[in-house]
Structure 1
Amino acid sequence: MNRRIALRHLALISGGLALIPSCDFSSDDILAAYENLKVTTSQKQLLGAISDSIIPAGELKGALELEVPDFILVMVNDCMTAENQVLFSTGLAAFPAYAKNTVGKKFDQLSSREKEDLIQGGIDLQPAETPEGEKDRAISYFLNTTKKLTMQGYMASEYIQTEIIPYSLIPGPYNGAALISENQKPRING
């Protein structure tokens, strides 16, 4: 190989390497899985933190471990009207600013009790007939919908339906003389 060509390539590579640190590759792209919603990765993580605050992990798995945020986004994307999807997305986008203005910290920096109080305060918001009231209405709708769908997704998850509350499609035979112990798992349908 010619020495001049090798030096030219070396200069181009070193110049390119010098420019890489100044480039910002941390774009927050919109997730393509939800065609009707414009949800970014950071918004999905925020939704996961909110759902995990609603049903935290303890003795049982939490909402985040059961992938409830994916359930919420699928339900909003597939089952809600376009107006409600816009309201949900607006509330999701406005929630970080609401948390910052209300508590003075980002949502992920709060303690679990502060997160619960913030979520409950957002659910109980009474919006006024102002532009700020529309934002409050969107936040309240977002949090109410998130809470409802978190509980629905959690209770319908495979983990709950198979390990915690065994679900049988067809009720078993009737045995009127069976004693029920405290260790026995409840049957939810007979």
Structure 2
Amino acid sequence: MNRREAVQRVALLVGGVLSPPLIAGVMGQVLNTGPSVATTAAQETLLAEVADIIIPTTDTPGAKAAGAEKFIVRVMRDCFVKEDQDKFYAGLAKLDADSKTKYGKGFIELSTPEKNEMVKQTMTADKPFFLRMKELTTVGYFTSEIGATQALEYLPIPGRFDGSAPYKPGQKTWAI
């Protein structure tokens, strides 16, 4: 099983236990009517790079190509309270600062193996940030047009319901 398949299976398994703000974000709802953290272009670029390490480009486009960072910014702004936004963006800043400490350059300038190492380090050093980032990236990717049509099997006009349709070897998971 490759990394892409593992992420797809996790997305399906996690589907029933996504956080309420994330579900609201997928539905396009706005839960946070209070103040929000203003994001910068540099933060969006950093989010795109981290998301692309979580779901890299393989035989299908990765999270960066799908624009997952735009989904993350919108959902954080519209569906999470300012305190949660502050914690999330502090975790993002810490990842970049840790990269500068360990390698002498920011996360964006690192090579792919160095980025992978920094994300692995963040998985244990700042688990709450990493879990939120992974959740947002996965949902943002698989609800994007690229994720739904190129990484998943997609039927734009569904036919009859067949509850026991067999999967063929190597067939993609169906998009919802």
TM over 0.5: yes
Q: 1:165 aligns with which of 129, 149, 153?
A: 153
Q: 1:103 to 1:78 in 2, by over 3 A?
A: same
Q: Superposed, which structure 2 residues align to 1:117-128 within 5 Å? A: 117-125=117-125
Aligned to 2:107: 107
Highest Rg: 1 or 2? Answer: 1
Counterpart code for 1:100: K
| Structure 2 unmatched runs, 5+ | 1-34
Aligned to 1:92: 92
Deviation of 1:159 after TM superposition, in Å, equals 2.3
Q: TM-score, normalised by structure 1?
A: 0.62
Counterpart code for 2:89: S
Q: Superposed, which structure 2 residues align to 1:14-93 within 5 Å? A: 36-93=36-93
Structure with the largest fraction of helix: 2
Q: 1:117 to 1:179 in 2, by over 3 A?
A: closer
CA contact (8 A) 1:91 1:140 kept: no
Distance 2:97 2:73 in 1: 21
CA RMSD of aligned residues (A): 2.8
Q: 1:172 to 1:42 in 2, by over 3 A?
A: same
| Structure 1 unmatched runs, 5+ | 1-34, 126-138
Distance 1:64 1:175 in 2: 34
Deviation of 1:117 after TM superposition, in Å, equals 1.4
**How many equivalent residue pairs?**
141
